[in-house]
Amino acid sequence: MNLPMPTPPAATLTLFDPFGFGRAAGRYWLDAFERSVLFADVMRQRGNQYLEHIEKTRPSVLGFDSEVLMDGRDLPRPVNYELLRILPPSGYPTDPKMRPFVVVDPRAGHGPGIGGFKPDSELGVALRAGHSCYFIGFLPYPEPGQSVEDVVEAEVAFLRHVNRLHSERGAEKPMVVGNCQAGWQIMMAASLEPDLFGPILIAGAPLSYWAGERGGAPMRYAGGMSGGSWMTSLLSDMGDGQFDGAWLVQNFENLNPANTLWTKQYQLFSNIDTEASRYLEFERWWGGHVVLGGNEIQYIVDNLFIGNRLSTAQLVTSDGRRIDLRNLRSPVVVFCSKGDDITPPPQALGWIRDLYEGVEDIVASEQTIVYCVHDTTGHLGIFVSGSVSRKEHTEFTANMDYIDVLPPGLYETTVSDASQRDDAELIERDYLLEFTPRTIAELDQVVQHSTEDDTRFATVARVSEINLGLYRLFMQPWVRALSTPESAQWMRRMHPNRMGYRLFSDRNPLMNAIPVLAEKIRADRHPADDENVFRVLESIASSQITGGLNAWRDFRDGATERMFLDTFGQPLLQSLVGLGGDAHVHRRRPGSEPEHLRFIERRHAELREQVAEGGSHEAVIRALIFVLGGAPSTDERNFKRLRASHAELEPQLTVADFKRLMREQFFILKLDREDAVEALPEMLKGQTAEQIAGHLTHIEHVLAASGELSEHSTERLERVRGLFEQAIDQAPIIEAESRAEAQAWISRQAEAQRFALNEMEDLMESQPVAKAEPEAKAEPEAKAEPEAKAEPEAKAEPAAPRRRTPSTRRKPDDNKR
């Protein structure tokens, strides 16, 4: 008969183990054993998940239901891309009249779907805003003979289809988002077919591959240290014409050996009871390796990674079209991060200084470029992180119409926390998008361009061409002769990144006992406390391992950089490859094409003829741009108020017309500011005095939206006020009494506006925490108060505009104050 073992009293245990180390050790080793088994079971699930995923015809981690609208395999030049329509979840109604939203997935070795990976992804943000959403994804294997140009043409065909679906409903051109490698694909497509694109957002996308600061961006040295692109050709030939994306993923993982070899796994092991689902969700995408065509990856490495030909307009299509990013007519938003070691800010922004000598060149090309530099997030966090999507991507999506109407130029945007601002009650959402005009010189502080480094990278490009030629002459015929589809398949299976998944799956007989043991442990788990001394020692040991691997990474990257700079900085090597002499320019700015110069001249002539043309809308917009010195506003509030007011004054004025007016008036002021401003009274002819006075009040109302004007802007506003009063004197009102009434109405409106602003300041001082209700709610409250009396003067004016502004608010009694 088996009797249960008696438990010793606590006093006895304390007597034999006064400090509790033995008991802590026992609990720790039991917990460590259980965590080890559970960890192995998660690895088993990861392996099974990997095998199930890669064996699908259309593997994807897209987190939304979708339907295929176009299959790239049916195009005249077949590709493995497809256009999907995202089916909105329940409770997310979409408005077909709103601008459609297209996300293009990056094809950089991982599987498709990362742009819609989570509910808080870019697609989730757009769906919540009511946009119709589309997704351009891809299949795991390329079509035979597929090229980069074919992929770009397929994306153009997809955008044409989206435009056809929504143009009949009056929607504007789609906003297109390109993540990582999809960014340069979208920019190439937009340079070839600029009329298909609305605003473009490129997130973490490298476009200037030679750029980067010393001590960072270690991947830019990879091409030089491997001797060029010959190894890419070798791997493609061994893969029977296909390149395994697992090699690209391995390059990413080598950037951070601490995370790859230890931290990621230890975090799972340490928190095995809570981390399993998150870990498996991410690994489903990270391990979904895809295959690229050999000619595709060779084109990318030769022309982009090593040749850097995209940012200098040196790429020419097979049918002779030059890919020049200056052809873009859509606003471009560049989102990058200082914490991104795969696409650091210099590589994301360097193309701007490569193409444009100054902001004047950007303006002449009628281009609007906005960039945002995040401080900390990593490469994947730019388009995967929920916090980034809820903040930056939400603001970009909500304000694309505002960005679309910005005058041509270069702007830096920041997203500020509305709750930390003094005018928080005037802001609709949790964050405020603000814009600051920048110059190329200011951008250079981020890009940190180096002419000496350009010479080194140009040397790498020449060495790469030589080595690739030697490989193709002496080795390629033998490698291709020995490669077969079967050998290529086995090479992919034996890749370390793929093999790690297979070894821990159920297809390994040694894993059969793991799920049974793991199930028993989950039923009777004995976790150790976080205060357990041995758990603390475990955490310290983990930190030491992480620190050691990080030190090795820093040493490796520093040594690689020094070796690269010393090797390719040798004058002898540079001369041997034909780059000797001070007169050689290794990264010249592309010259303007004759047709582009003729286009600019023709536009200038057209705009000069329109200096005195137009009506009240043109006059109001021109006055606003003049007062603000070129930019329509410092943040989104002025634009919203201006657009809402114009919609009220003339409902038939579409958003597209409004944007066209903004840009035309900006260029007219840019060409001849003095004549354009003096033409304001002429443009207001035909308006009554009261109408002109209403336009002037509207201008003052818009300018007051984002705070106090600068001294220079105030002086310009006084000049505009004088010109509008001159137009009132010339207005078709015969009676002097009516003219006097109009002038008095202007004075009363200005006084009422000043009073409203003072009231707002008093309210902010008396209630610094409370937020004011929106204006739309303020009017019913005013009607409900019987004691609140409106100003008799404002009430007596019959011709006051219908819109609600600070100048038409009711003035409360002193008692109510």
Range with lowest mean pLDDT among 486-495, 498-507, 607-616: 607-616
Residue 306 has pLDDT above 90, yes or no: yes
Beta carbons of 340 and 378 less than 8 angstroms apart? yes
Residue 450 has pLDDT above 60, yes or no: yes
Range with lowest mean pLDDT among 66-80, 159-173, 793-807: 793-807
Provide CB contacts within 8 A for 215, sequence distance 6+.
558, 561
Q: Which pLDDT tens digit goes with each residue over 145-156?
A: 999 999 999 999
Q: What is the pLDDT of residue 511?
A: 93
Residue 774 has pLDDT above 90, yes or no: no
Considering the chain, tell me which residue range(s) the CATH 3.40.50.1820 domain(s) occupy: 66-210+322-449
Give the rounded percent of residues in the chain with a pLDDT score beyond 70: 77
Beta carbons of 662 and 405 less than 8 angstroms apart? yes
Provide CB contacts within 8 A for 509, sequence distance 6+.
none
Q: What is the pLDDT of residue 109?
A: 79
Q: How confident is the model over 315-343, as a mean pLDDT?
A: 91
Q: What is the pLDDT of residue 620?
A: 83
Single pTM value for the model: 0.80
Give the rounded percent of residues in the chain with a pLDDT score beyond 90: 44
Between CA 339 and CA 16 the distance in angstroms is: 52
Between CA 573 and CA 811 the distance in angstroms is: 80
Q: What is the pLDDT of residue 35?
A: 97
CATH number of 66-210+322-449: 3.40.50.1820
Residue 727 has pLDDT above 80, yes or no: yes
Between CA 255 and CA 508 the distance in angstroms is: 30
Question: 3-class SS at 466?
Answer: helix
Q: How confident is the model over 179-208, as a mean pLDDT?
A: 93
pLDDT range class, residue 167, cuts 50, 70, 90: confident
Between CA 59 and CA 624 the distance in angstroms is: 52
- 479 vs 795, which has greater pLDDT? 479
Residue 799 has pLDDT above 50, yes or no: no
pLDDT range class, residue 190, cuts 50, 70, 90: very high
Residue type (1 letter), 662: M
Beta carbons of 713 and 623 less than 8 angstroms apart? no
Beta carbons of 259 and 341 less than 8 angstroms apart? no
Residue 38 has pLDDT above 70, yes or no: yes
Q: How confident is the model over 429-444, as a mean pLDDT?
A: 82
Closest to 687 measured CA to CA, from 620, 736, 596: 620
Sign of CA dihedral 463, 465, 466, 468: positive
- 418 vs 73, which has greater pLDDT? 73
Q: What is the pLDDT of residue 570?
A: 93
Residue 218 has pLDDT above 60, yes or no: yes
- 754 vs 664, which has greater pLDDT? 664
Between CA 494 and CA 277 the distance in angstroms is: 27
The pair phi, psi for residue 292, each rounded to 5°, is -110, 155
Q: What is the pLDDT of residue 292?
A: 94
pLDDT range class, residue 765, cuts 50, 70, 90: very low
Question: 3-class SS at 136?
Answer: strand
Three-class DSSP labels, 204-271: CCCCCCCCCCCCCCHHHHHHHHCCCCHHHHHHHHHCCCEEECHHHHHHHHHHCHHHHHHHHHHHHHHC
Q: What is the pLDDT of residue 582?
A: 55
Q: Which pLDDT tens digit goes with each residue over 637-676?
A: 555 555 555 555 555 566 667 777 777 778 788 777 888 8
Residue 32 has pLDDT above 90, yes or no: yes
- 23 vs 51, which has greater pLDDT? 51
Between CA 514 and CA 506 the distance in angstroms is: 10
Q: What is the pLDDT of residue 788?
A: 39
Question: Please, what is the Cα angle at 754 between 752 and 756, to 5 degrees?
Answer: 70
Q: How confident is the model over 280-294, as a mean pLDDT?
A: 88
Q: How confident is the model over 383-401, as a mean pLDDT?
A: 71
Q: Which pLDDT tens digit goes with each residue over 500-550?
A: 899 999 999 999 999 999 999 999 999 999 889 999 999 999 999 999 999
| Neighbouring-strand partners of residue 435 | 413
Q: What is the pLDDT of residue 618?
A: 81
Residue 82 has pLDDT above 90, yes or no: yes
Beta carbons of 665 and 621 less than 8 angstroms apart? yes
Q: How confident is the model over 31-47, as a mean pLDDT?
A: 96
Averaged pLDDT score across all residues of the chain:
81
Between CA 520 and CA 734 the distance in angstroms is: 97
Range with lowest mean pLDDT among 265-279, 418-432, 463-477: 418-432
